[in-house]
Each structure stands twice: as C-alpha cells, then as structure tokens.
C-alpha cells in the first residue's frame, strides 16, 4: 500500500468515483474541492461520507499543506464546462492554468512522488487526421481546450526543470454514474438520461449524426491507477479513449431502449447550442457562430495504442453496459434516493 493520495476536484463526477475506488482499495485519501461545481453528496456511501473533504480552492496558499508528502496527487479540479470557460475566460484561466501551477509547485516543494493530470481530448479540436495521436500537433482556440493545453505545458515544464514525476491523461467523452445532471448545460449522456427518465423530449443540436469517442468512468479509473503506479507513465501523455466513435443518434437510441421510451429528441441548429450563455453573443465582437457549429459537429476518435503499449490499459466496458449503469444511477437519484456513491455499477 502506498502513502497518502490527494485528489483535487474530488467532489466532481470523475474525482468522486476515483476517490471511491481508491478508498475501497484501502488508500489514505485527502480530498480537495471548493464545491464550485461538485457536490459533497458525491462522496456519500449509505448516507455517510467515506472520506473527509477539504473545502479548498486549488489557488489557495493553504494547498501546500494538504498536498505535502503525498505519494500521488490526481489533479482533476478545473472549470470543466466549455461554455463557462468561454464566457468567463479570466476565471477559467485562473483555475485551469494558474491553479495547476499552484498544484505543481506545492507538489514539487512538498516532496510528492507523482502527479497525474486530467487533460482533455478537446485540445485536438482543430485536428483533422483521425484517430488523433498524442504526438500530433495541436492548435486549440476555445478557452477550455487552450487552458488545458497550457496546463499540460506546465506539467512538462515541472518535469523538465524540477524532475517532478508527472503523467498526463487526455480524456475523451467520459460517461457513467455521477455525471453532473444538475448544471445549466449538463453533458450530453447525462442530459439525455435525465430528460428521458422524466418523460421529456431532450433538446439536441445539429442533426444527431455527429460522432464522438466515449469512454466509461470505470475505465478512466483504471488508467488513472495505472498512471499512479506504472514506472513508464512518467513524462507520458495518454489518450483515454475507447477508440470507437458513436453518433448522437446511436447513443440516444441505446439510452431510449434502456429507459424503455419512445420519446424522440427535438433538434435545434448548432449555432444555438450555447444560447444559455448570452454574453458570448453580445458585445462588439460576438462569437463566430461557425466556430460553435464546428464544435457541435466535431468528430472525435482517439488512438489507443500508446496507453495499451506503455500501460497495458485498454477501455473494456461495452457502451451498452456503461449506459445501463448510468441510467440505473440516475433513476435512483431522481427517485430521491440520494446521490450516494453507487456500490459501483460495473464493479
């Protein structure tokens, strides 16, 4: 058993379930989140918290005390919703970039053995050759992807300048239990499940033929743990992808089949996708609608060879099984049985 493990963003979707997995394996945990987007209820099991949450902003000078002497820091805290990043660039850069610098600085000063950073496949947003490989040149322009790419560069810099052990993971579309369905613009899978379980027609954008690579939460936990332990993870960047792209319509039909509903979605133009964030379309230079259309219609597919070759990791959970687990969880949540950590649907 290793020593203390820190998770930033631990009250969020992925962080909470990584925490639960590590808790069950008997690790000592320090969980950090400022609850700006996460929920303490994600850290409950049978009504009780399974580990203590430190309500701390990753930009705080107090961070170093929480991180000190950790065996591993999983750095997941971020402003993760794309329209929030785009409409509040100073906040997003402050947390996603400067916050990451604070985590890395605390880690290197505090004798942390390894940092595992959660980056995103969104940094490939302008790439046109598929599947995307980790060494492909990237040129992200949206604030979220740009901030993550800058944070990746910081990780590389701390590795080079201080010899800090850092591994970077680039998640594709992660889905599963505990995806946040309460926020203003919930992620696609969680949103469709929520609407269908409540008997409403989901509002989707474009024509539903856009295809993306989806990866199940428990597979993400597996690669995070491999990045914590594997000697060859150090200095590496790894796509966290299933290597299979599904269309919105295919995912929709799978969810509708699991829920057992004949409700059909309503489609709206892609340019209206971020209409709940009107500031983006105001001012003297409003956002170019073509950029948003491109983002909505974006195709994604990740190359998985590197993670398989270096870490022996490959996504295992079939999409239908993962979606069923997500539906089961949301059914419980909506039935008022609390957001308690599932006894992991796939475990």
Q: List contacts with ligand NAD (CB under 6 A).
A: 8-9, 11-15, 32-38, 57-59, 76-80, 95, 99, 118, 120, 171, 173-174, 180
- Summary count for the chain: helices (H), strands (E): 12, 14
- The upper half-sphere exposure of residue 82, i.e. CA atoms within 13 Å in the direction of its Cβ, equals 21
Residue 226: its H or E element: helix 217-229
- Compute the least distance from the CB of residue 282 to ligand NAD, in Å: 25
Residue closer to ligand NAD by CB (options 221, 271) is 221
Q: Are 12 and 33 in contact (CB under 8 A)?
A: yes
Question: Is the Cα dihedral 8, 236, 79, 333 positive or negative?
Answer: negative
173 or 210: CB nearest ligand NAD: 173
What is the per-residue DSSP string for 189-209? HHHHHHHHHTT---EEETTS-
Q: Cis bond leading into 26, ω under 30°?
A: no
d(CA 124, CA 138): 6
Q: How far is the CB of 199 from ligand NAD (least distance, A)?
A: 26
Q: To the nearest whole angstrom, how small is the minimum distance from the Cβ of residue 34 to ligand NAD?
A: 4
Nearest approach in angstroms of CB 264 to ligand NAD is 25
Cβ at position 128, least distance to ligand NAD in Å? 20
For ligand NAD, give the closer residue by CB, 105 or 261.
105
153: Cβ–Cβ under 8 A, 6 or more apart, which residues? none
CB 217 within 8 A of CB 277: no
The packing angle between helices 248-259 and 188-197, to 10°, is 30
Q: Which residue has the tokens 């073509």?
A: 290
C-beta of 240: minimal distance to ligand NAD in Å? 8
For residue 182, report the phi and psi dihedrals to the nearest 5 degrees. -100, -15
Closer of 6 and 174 to ligand NAD (Cβ): 174
Compare residues 76 and 271 and give the one whose CB is closer to ligand NAD.
Answer: 76
When the beta carbons of 35 and 156 are compared against ligand NAD, the nearer one is: 35
Minimum CB separation of residue 101 from ligand NAD in Å reads 12
CB of 192 to ligand NAD, least distance (A): 15
Instruction: Pick between residue 34 and residue 165 the one whose CB is nearest to ligand NAD.
Output: 34
Whole-angstrom Cα distance, residue 159 to residue 162? 6
Instruction: Give the Cα separation of 147 and 80 in Å (integer).
Output: 10
Closest contact distance (angstroms) between CB of 118 and ligand NAD is 4
Nearest to ligand NAD of 132, 271 (CB atom): 132
Instruction: Report the alpha-carbon angle 125-270-240, nearest 5.
Output: 30
Nearer Cβ to ligand NAD (58/223): 58
């Amino acid at each position: 058993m290793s020593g203390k493990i820190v998770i930033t963003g631990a009250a969020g979707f992925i962080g909470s379930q990584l925490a639960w997995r590590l808790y069950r394996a008997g690790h000592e945990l320090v969980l950090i989140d400022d609850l700006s987007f996460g929920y303490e209820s994600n850290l409950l099991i049978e009504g009780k918290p399974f580990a203590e949450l430190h309500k701390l902003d990753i930009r705080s000078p107090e961070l170093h005390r929480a991180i000190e002497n950790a065996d591993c820091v999983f750095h997941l805290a971020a402003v993760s919703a794309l329209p929030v990043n785009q409409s509040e660039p100073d906040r997003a850069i402050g947390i996603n970039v400067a916050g990451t610098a604070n985590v890395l600085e605390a880690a290197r000063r505090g004798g942390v053995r390894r940092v595992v950073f959660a980056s995103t496949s969104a940094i490939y947003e302008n790439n046109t050759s598929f599947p995307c490989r980790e060494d492909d040149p990237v040129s992200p322009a949206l604030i979220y992807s740009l901030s993550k790419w800058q944070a990746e560069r910081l990780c590389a810099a701390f590795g080079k300048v201080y010899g800090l052990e850092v591994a970077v993971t680039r998640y594709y579309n992660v889905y599963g239990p505990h995806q946040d369905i309460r926020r203003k613009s919930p992620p696609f899978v969680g949103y469709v499940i929520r609407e269908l379980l409540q008997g409403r027609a989901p509002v989707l954008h474009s024509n539903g033929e856009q295809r993306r690579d989806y990866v199940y939460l428990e597979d993400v936990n597996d690669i995070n743990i491999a990045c914590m332990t594997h000697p060859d993870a150090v200095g590496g960047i790894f796509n966290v992808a299933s290597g299979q792209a599904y269309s919105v319509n295919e995912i929709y039909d799978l969810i509708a089949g699991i829920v057992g509903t004949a409700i059909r979605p309503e489609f709206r133009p892609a340019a209206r996708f971020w209409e709940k964030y009107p500031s983006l379309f105001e001012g003297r230079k409003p956002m170019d609608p073509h950029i948003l259309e491109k983002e909505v219609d974006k195709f994604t597919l990740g190359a998985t060879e590197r993670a398989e070759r270096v870490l022996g990791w490959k996504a295992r959970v079939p999409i239908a099984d993962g979606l069923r687990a997500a539906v089961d969880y949301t059914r419980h949540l909506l039935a008022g049985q609390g957001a308690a950590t599932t006894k992991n649907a796939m475990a």
